[in-house]
Amino acid sequence: MPLDRHARRILDMLATGGEAARDQLSPGKVRLAMLELARALDPRDLPTVAVEDRKLAGPGGELAIRLYTPAEVDARPAPGMVYFHGGVGVFCSVETHDALCRMLCGDSGTRVISVDYRLAPEHPYPAALEDSWFATRWVAENAAHLGIDRTRLAVGGDSAGATLAAVVCQLARESRNPLLAAQLLLCPVTDLCATTASRAAFSEGYFLSRTMLDWAVDQYCPAGIDRSDAHLSPLRAADFTGLPRAYIHTAEFDPMRDEGAAYAQALEQAGVEVHYTCHAGLIHHYYGMAGAIPAARSAVREAALSLRCALDRPA
């Protein structure tokens, strides 16, 4: 299928400014640019949900989380999902992903807890993973207080946040606590060492360029860190058995498409229930462009509904 015309319009708009050279990139500039992009491309007609910000005493100090509660929720414990935003561990935040979490919450009827984990280069790996794992366990331990049915708890994320979600699932399996019901992975980065056809084909001009990706990964994983470690590249894990059912969404014109598909295949071969969708015509970060790309809004709704179906079933 050809590139979605609305996605093409966005890529053309972004191209007019030209891509910054590697030595001109800075975390502050990229973070501001991503926040401005979110404000420009997020939908205006978002589902009505209740939002509450909290601070936890995390492993590295104060850890902010944002809780989203569906408008129509009764006194019974509801399904929940701990969500990790993307941004290669360097940029994005609960603010850039606020609209996405509102959509996932409202469309699925699921309580969503978005985690504002520490970012590199100020806090390189493993800070983000430590915060993500801590937040997941905290939500599980406090599920009753949060109005969440602990037996219907999922994790989710997009891009590098999906990496965190996948690794958290592996950690939870190893520790047997918490028992997670599902994982929702949007455009996951599953192998930092990948040399796939999609990485080659879409390395320039499709939102997430090779220059930007390489620069961000260098911030997140400084020299001396083994990027093939399964806690950074979950596709390289030795064992995929016993992981929660997976709902994996990739995009046709995404550099990460092939490694997302490979992760789905690895899980399926290990006996994990997998639901895999490659969204035709879309690009990386489509879920953050749902106000400008109708097909992206539909894809987010599809992901949310699949999450609800997953959490309405026994694990």
Sign of CA dihedral 215, 220, 222, 227: negative
CATH number at residue 44: 3.40.50.1820
Residue 184's alpha-carbon distances to 64, 81, 191, 243, 263, in angstroms, are 21, 9, 17, 12, 13
Query: Residue 40's closest CA among 305, 302, 289?
Result: 289
Catalytic residue flag (residue 249):
no
Average pLDDT along the chain, 315 residues, taken 10 residues at a time: 97 82 80 96 97 98 98 87 98 98 98 99 98 99 97 98 99 96 99 98 96 96 96 99 98 99 99 99 99 99 96 78
Query: Residue 315's closest CA among 243, 211, 267, 229?
Result: 243
CA angle 160, 165, 170 (to 5 degrees): 125
Catalytic residue flag (residue 159):
yes
Per the residue annotation, which of 254, 258, 279, 285 is the catalytic one? 254
| Three-state secondary structure call for residue 72 | coil
Per the residue annotation, which of 132, 159, 198, 233 is the catalytic one? 159
Q: What does DSSP say about strands 111-116 and 61-70: parallel, antiparallel, or unpaired?
A: antiparallel
Sign of CA dihedral 88, 42, 311, 262: negative
Domain, as residue range, for 213? 5-311
Per the residue annotation, which of 97, 249, 279, 284 is the catalytic one? 284
Catalytic residue flag (residue 284):
yes
Residue 238's alpha-carbon distances to 3, 231, 232, 265, in angstroms, are 36, 11, 13, 14
What's residue 73's pLDDT? 79
Separation between Cα atoms, residue 159 and residue 282, nearest integer Å:
14
What's residue 20's pLDDT? 63
What's residue 24's pLDDT? 73
Q: Which amino acid is at 204?
A: E
Q: What is the number of structural domains in the chain?
A: 1
Specify the pTM: 0.97
Query: Residue 19's closest CA among 28, 29, 9?
Result: 29
Contacts of 262 (CB under 8 A, 6+ apart): 190, 191, 196, 235
Contact present, 73 and 305 (Cβ < 8 Å): no
